[in-house]
Amino acid sequence: MRIGMPHMGNTYIPFKALFQRLNVDFVLSPISNRRTLSLGVRHSPEGLCIPFKLTLGNLIEATELGADTLLMPSGYGICRLGYYAMTQEQILHDLGYNNIKVIGVGFSEHKLFGLLKIIKQLSNNAPWIRIISAFRIGLTKLNALDKIERVVQKIRAVELVKGTANKLYAKAVKAIDEADDYNTLKKVETGYINQLKQIDKNPQAQPLIVGITGEFYVLLEPFSNLDVENELGKLGVEVRRRLFISGWTKFSLFLNSLGINEMAKIHKAALPYLKRDIGGDGWESVGEKVLHAKEYDGLIHLAPFTCMPEIVAQNIMPSTKENIPVLTILCDEQTTKTGMLTRLEAFVDLLERKRRARHNNRY
Amino acid sequence: MIKIGIPRALLYYQYYPMWQTFFEELGAEVVVSPPTTQTVLSEGSSRVVAETCLPTKVFLGHVLSLVKKCDYIFIPAIRSVKSKTYNCSKFLGLPDMTKAVIPESPPILDIDIDVNKGKHELYQAIYKLGRRFTWNPFRVRRASIAAWQANLNYQQLLCNHSLTPPQAIERILDTPGVEPKTHSEYPIPMQATIAIIGHPYLLYDEHINYRLIHRLKQAQNKVLTPEMLTTEELESATARLVGRAKWTCEEEVVGAGGHYLRSGADGVIGITAFGCGPDSLMMDIVQRQAQTMTTPFMSLTLDEHTAEAGIVTRLEAFLDMIYRKKRKRICV
């Protein structure tokens, strides 16, 4: 059995560590690129969103490299995602890969134990103790990656030589991927965070703060959002994102089952405008706008084209009393970098002018 | 008397008799918006972002035409009507979205229908809705029972008499509309049997689909629609194609498609709205099935830029193909 799975940001690193420790053959497909996208687009129904198309591209590339069991996130009650594993399996069969099995993994449905059970099946009944230790190192890597990313988001906006933080970040990701035990991991993590903090900063910089919210996949996969966070960093903007995969895993696998809901505050904020969960991340998008209106200078709302929950959120957002400039960027295979850059520059200009006006009023 | 406005869009075609009975039993008057026109559509689309799907735009247009004509507007948020199914986000967010984009709308009566939460929650939701009209829980109970009976009668009418929802609603209300004349008085044999699958709010809104059903009938074709099938037929066909239905409105597409592809319709036309989330997957499933069964299948995507000439051309080409195929079969 050779396992493959779609990419989403750096999530391949913890999964690679997990499966390597369990001696499962894990096929690492190329990081999402133009070919992945065009493969996905060619074989998908046209009305589907970019997460489907890109993950299908990833799965096809993994299959080409010899994977025969593919893992695909799934679940009941979250927009169209529940259907993806089944449809993608059908598409792969129609392409002539007849022995491919696509396993839908419902994170919020199976909970921690269900997930561990799936891993146990995939690893040929490895002993529980090994599964749990492998799972733990995966989680530690995930946490380390996200901690470093948080620092990078801050540094990018104020660094003197643009691109220094990114270079270090790439090195850190590689080092975390290669680290094999907790000690090295800890050392890599603190080492790179220190290095990042020592990057020369522009002393006069007063970065604008822009929140970034929207659909799960396009937020976390830089290829699908054309690396919007990096581009904002280049424009001298500090990006704030609530959603990190490590935080999400912590809550959906451990804390939610104990009755702790990290989103309760956001949902409460959204309540006057949207009374119920509409699937996907629509409720959270509205809530975050309301919650952070005072705190941020602007908000970027990322959504895949034809995403149902985000369209509802996009329609509701302008009507909130809490006013903050929102730029909605729809991501699909037609989105181009130049178009997006122009819109980002205009948006940042607008935010700067607003801040200046606010400043002048004060004195 | 309190006037309740019901927009003639989306779930109107499935549940109107039920809603009407419920509100009238509680002593309210029901106002339905007039049929869709170009003004309704363009006013509706002017309120929302462009990516919103056509039926939602039509719905908002109908809400706009009800402004100032009623005291409340009834917009339910239907999450599921069967266990373990889920509905499109646009249905769930409909009351809130309407409030956000049409601030001048009358107060919105919303109700959460979710059978996954259990019977108790459902009854509570119905009672909460009825309490706006009467304090008496037994009166609400009586109204809901009458409403449910009306719904069952309506479905019976659709299924047994092969009526389309607008025809059935007309028959219930006893206001026969002017039925467009087909040539059925002449004993000309039917050319072909065409099945149309899709959501009722696309199939029976004659403005947005350019009277597709009427056109097919006029060309001497027998038209089959999802409402003509019984629940059992729909369920078994869905089970054959995808296992268990995951969407609230899945059976009218996958179930009907699966059934008609097998029961020997000469051709199947699938109608979707541009940007429809669930349909993008469900129509794909039916299309794949049609390909393996070599039944002609045409997918028509509707949006506000759809033109009459385009639809007619495609329809003619599709029908010609089916007729030719049939003739060939007869000759051989």
The domain defined by B180-331 folds into Rossmann fold (3.40.50)
DSSP A111-162: HHHHHHHHHHHHTTS--HHHHHHHHHHHHHHHHHHHHHHHHHHHHHHHBSST
Fold match flag (B3-159 vs B180-331): yes
Collect all residues of chain B within an 8 Å Cβ-Cβ radius of residue A274: 93, 96
Q: Is residue A43 a contact partner of residue A31, using CB atoms and an 8 Å limit? A: no
CA count, 13 A, side-chain hemisphere, B116: 14
For residues B320 and B326, what is the distance between their CA atoms, to the nearest angstrom? 10
Residue in chain B nearest A271 by alpha carbon: B96
Give the pLDDT confidence score for residue B178 in this predicted structure.
Answer: 56
CA distance B48 to chain A (A): 6
Give the pLDDT confidence score for residue A326 in this predicted structure.
Answer: 94
Give the pLDDT confidence score for residue B79 in this predicted structure.
Answer: 86
Amino acid (1-letter code) at residue B322: I
Burial class (CB in 10 A: 0-12, 13-18, 19+), A283: buried
Give the pLDDT confidence score for residue B181 in this predicted structure.
Answer: 52
8 Å CB contact of B276 and A47: yes
The closest alpha carbon to A231, from A335, A356, A147, A142, belongs to: A335
- In b/e form, how buried is each residue of B92-126, taking b as 16+ CB within 10 angstroms? bbbbbbbbbbbeebbebbbbbbbbeeeeeebeebb
| φ/ψ of residue A24, rounded to 5 | -100, 140
Give the H or E element holding residue A2: strand A2-4
- Hey, is the C-beta of A306 within 8 angstroms of any chain B C-beta? yes
Q: Where are the domains of chain B?
A: 3-159, 180-331
For residues A246 and B142, what is the distance between their CA atoms, to the nearest angstrom? 52
DSSP B225-260: -GGGS-HHHHHHHHHHHHSS--BTT-IIIIIHHHHH
8 Å CB contact of A83 and B246: yes
Residues of B with CB under 8 A from a CB of A: 48-49, 51-53, 77, 79, 84, 86, 88-90, 92-93, 95-97, 99-101, 103, 110, 112, 242, 246, 272, 274-281, 283-285, 288
Edge-to-edge strand ranges of the sheet holding A326-331: A237-241, A208-214, A298-304, A326-331
Give mean pLDDT in consecutive 10-residue pieces for chain B, a chain of 332 residues. Answer: 91 92 92 93 92 92 93 91 84 92 92 87 90 89 93 88 84 68 56 91 90 90 88 89 82 90 88 87 89 89 88 93 84 64
Burial class (CB in 10 A: 0-12, 13-18, 19+), A85: buried
Can you state the percent helix, strand and coil of chain A, rounding each to 5? 60, 10, 30
CA count, 13 A, side-chain hemisphere, B92: 28
Give the pLDDT confidence score for residue A78 in this predicted structure.
Answer: 67
- Hey, is the C-beta of A271 within 8 angstroms of any chain B C-beta? no
Residue in chain B nearest A311 by alpha carbon: B52
For residue A218, how far is the Cα from the chain centroid?
A: 6
8 Å CB contact of A82 and B246: yes
Collect all residues of chain A within an 8 Å Cβ-Cβ radius of residue B277: 47, 79-80, 306-308
Give the pLDDT confidence score for residue A347 in this predicted structure.
Answer: 96
- Hey, is the C-beta of A275 within 8 angstroms of any chain B C-beta? yes
Q: What is the pLDDT of residues A288-311, one digit of tens each?
A: 999 998 899 999 999 998 888 999
- Hey, is the C-beta of A334 within 8 angstroms of any chain B C-beta? no
The domain defined by B3-159 folds into Rossmann fold (3.40.50)
For chain A, positions 107-166, list CB contacts with chain B under 8 A: none
Confidence of residue A76 (pLDDT cuts 50, 70, 90): low
Q: What is the pLDDT of residues A91-126, one digit of tens each?
A: 999 999 988 999 888 776 677 888 888 888 888 888
Mean pLDDT, residues A46-70? 92
Burial class (CB in 10 A: 0-12, 13-18, 19+), B132: middle
The closest alpha carbon to A330, from B50, B280, B96, B53, belongs to: B50
Q: Is residue B41 a contact partner of residue B15, using CB atoms and an 8 Å limit? A: no
Q: Is residue A11 a contact partner of residue A138, using CB atoms and an 8 Å limit? A: no
Amino acid (1-letter code) at residue B241: L
Give the pLDDT confidence score for residue B67 in this predicted structure.
Answer: 92
CA distance A322 to chain B (A): 14
Which residues, in sequence order, are CB contacts of B109 under 8 Å at separation 6+? B4, B72, B73, B74, B75, B129, B132
Instruction: Determine which of A17-26, A259-268, B47-56, B309-318 has the lowest per-residue pLDDT on average.
Output: A259-268
Give the pLDDT confidence score for residue B177 in this predicted structure.
Answer: 57
| Complex prediction ipTM | 0.88
Which residues, in sequence order, are CB contacts of A253 under 8 Å at separation 6+? A107, A111, A112, A115
| φ/ψ of residue B311, rounded to 5 | -65, -45
Residue in chain A nearest B245 by alpha carbon: A83
Chain A interface, best mutation among B86, B96, B246, B274, by max A CB count within 10 A: B96
Instruction: With a cut of 70, say whether residue A363 has pLDDT above it.
Output: no
Instruction: With a cut of 60, say whether residue A244 has pLDDT above it.
Output: yes
The closest alpha carbon to B283, from A23, A47, A37, belongs to: A47
Percent of chain A at pLDDT exceeding 90 = 61
- Please count the other Cβ atoms lying within 10 Å of the Cβ belonging to residue B239: 14
Give the H or E element holding residue A308: helix A308-316
Q: What angle do CA B101, B64, A286 make, to 5 degrees?
A: 15
Decide which of A80 and B11 is more confident.
B11
CA distance A273 to chain B (A): 6
Instruction: Determine which of A238-242, A282-286, B170-174 has the lowest per-residue pLDDT on average.
Output: B170-174
**What domains can be seen in chain A, in order of their start residue?**
2-126 (3.40.50), 133-206 (no CATH), 207-363 (3.40.50.11900)
Confidence of residue A52 (pLDDT cuts 50, 70, 90): very high
For residues B107 and A199, what is the distance between their CA atoms, to the nearest angstrom? 57
For residues B197 and B253, what is the distance between their CA atoms, to the nearest angstrom? 6
